[in-house]
Amino acid sequence: MLENLLEAQESFRSERKRDGMKLKAVVCAGLLVAVMSIGLVACGQANNASVSASDDGSSATQGASSSEMIRIGVPDDGTNLSRGIKLLEAAGLITVDPNAGYTPELKDITGTPYNVEVVPMPASSLPSTLGDFGASAINGNYAIPNNLVPSRDGLIIEKQSEGEDNPYVNVIAARTADAGSETFRRIVAAYQTQLVAEFMLVDYKEIYYPAFAYDSNIELTSEKAKEIAAYASDKEGKTTVKVGVCGTDNNQWKAVQKILDDENAGIYIEMVQFDAYDEPNRALNTGEIDLNAFQHKAFLANDASTNGYDLTAIGDTLIAPLTMYSTQFNSLDALKEAAGEKAQ
């Protein structure tokens, strides 16, 4: 499970810490945001506004930060903005109106116990601008290419758990009418195997974690993971299933295909890549593809409701935690000390 893996990484951090940075906390950061984007990465527009709290506890939007404040960058798009706010709340850096639940916006920040300022930015820009902020909450798919590893460099990691109550669990989706397909059931079963879990953990290096039960004793080597990533299957004589995905980090499906071939399932998975997050559900609903796997449950529910799609999740796949990083502070405590508590 994710919790076991994070415990095992405790020794990993001390061996690979970079520039004195180390993980100080892994906490529950509200998981249940129910609108836009993935574990879905960021695709919103920057609003170029930041927020700090006024003395009476109400939020005030500003165009620039005060010099005495430490600026904290967060993703500016729908779900990831809310997740970033909840992460800062869990870190004790801000307070949030409880009535906002798990979908807070900037206006729902009711106070800042420390002298910090929350600054929304395009998620893709947060790694390159990290030095301009005291810290930033960064999605794993942007962090890893910039040599930021959650267990090694993170100040605090959004803790997500497997289970039906976590709307940030990414899923395989099908048309509701086809949800009971035996072919689809075999694909989900192949995905939720130890080999796929180990490949995900080894190949993606903490961008993603399995959202299904697995043994945290990982035996797959990097060399074997490379072999799986290069695996090619022959589609001749097999039932072709088109699976819609976004982005390029989808090699876990090579492991799924290998499992299916080892079982002589007679199923060939054809990956169909989309560039925009509004496309895979539309294509699935119209029958252009058979399944898709790019979104978490919250996005699926919102997109289906908004567009009238009759789609349903048929299997959990992965989770993608948000992590706070800093080049200026090596712990959350150090950041808080530098920011200083506000006078009551």
The type of residue at 262 is D
Give Cα separations from 172 to 7, 82, 92, 189 (angstroms).
28, 24, 35, 11
Q: What is the mean pLDDT of residues 264-270?
A: 98
Q: Is 247 left (phi over 0), alpha (psi -120 to 50) or beta?
A: left
CB-CB contact of 74 with 312 (8 Å): no
Q: Which of 231-235, 237-241, 294-298, 332-336 comes out lowest in average pLDDT?
A: 294-298
Q: Is the model more confident about 217 or about 167?
A: 217
Q: Does residue 64 have a pLDDT over 50?
A: no
Model pLDDT for residues 181-196, shown as the tens digit of each residue: 999 999 999 999 999 9
Q: Does residue 31 have a pLDDT over 60?
A: no
Predicted local confidence at residue 103, as pLDDT: 78
Q: Supply 116's token pair.
A: 């910090």
Domains of the chain, start order: 2-160+321-339 (3.40.190.10), 170-319 (3.40.190.10)
Q: Does residue 65 have a pLDDT over 90?
A: no
Q: What is the mean pLDDT of residues 196-219?
A: 92
Q: Supply 81's token pair.
A: 């903005």
95-100, Cβ contacts within 8 angstroms, sequence gap of 24 or more? 95/53, 95/57
Instruction: Provide the angle, in degrees to the nearest 10, between the axes of the packed helices 252-262 and 194-203.
Output: 150
Q: What is the mean pLDDT of residues 37-65?
A: 41
Q: Does residue 281 have a pLDDT over 80?
A: yes
Place 51 in a pLDDT band, splitting at 50, 70 and 90. low
Q: Does residue 20 have a pLDDT over 80?
A: no
Predicted local confidence at residue 115, as pLDDT: 95
Say how many C-beta atoms besides its own lie within 10 A of residue 252's C-beta. 23
Give Cα separations from 182 to 63, 71, 239 (angstroms).
55, 52, 12
% of the chain surpassing 70 pLDDT: 78
Q: What is the mean pLDDT of residues 194-221?
A: 93
CA 149 to chain centre: 14
**Residue whose entry in the numeric block shows the structure tokens 């567009």:** 307
Model pLDDT for residues 307-334, shown as the tens digit of each residue: 999 999 999 999 888 999 999 999 999 9
Q: How would you class 310 by CB atoms within 10 Å of its CB: exposed for 0-12, middle for 13-18, buried for 19 or more?
A: exposed
> Which pTM was predicted?
0.68
Interatomic CA distance for residues 169 and 161, integer angstroms:
8
Predicted local confidence at residue 254, as pLDDT: 98
DSSP code string of 181-212: -HHHHHHHHHHTSHHHHHHHHHHSTTS-EESS
Model pLDDT for residues 120-174, shown as the tens digit of each residue: 999 989 999 999 999 999 988 788 889 898 889 999 998 765 555 677 789 999 9
Model pLDDT for residues 76-122, shown as the tens digit of each residue: 987 789 889 999 999 999 999 999 877 799 999 999 999 999 999 99
CA 160 to chain centre: 9
Please name which of 187, 173, 45, 52 lies closest in space to residue 113, comparing C-alpha atoms.
52
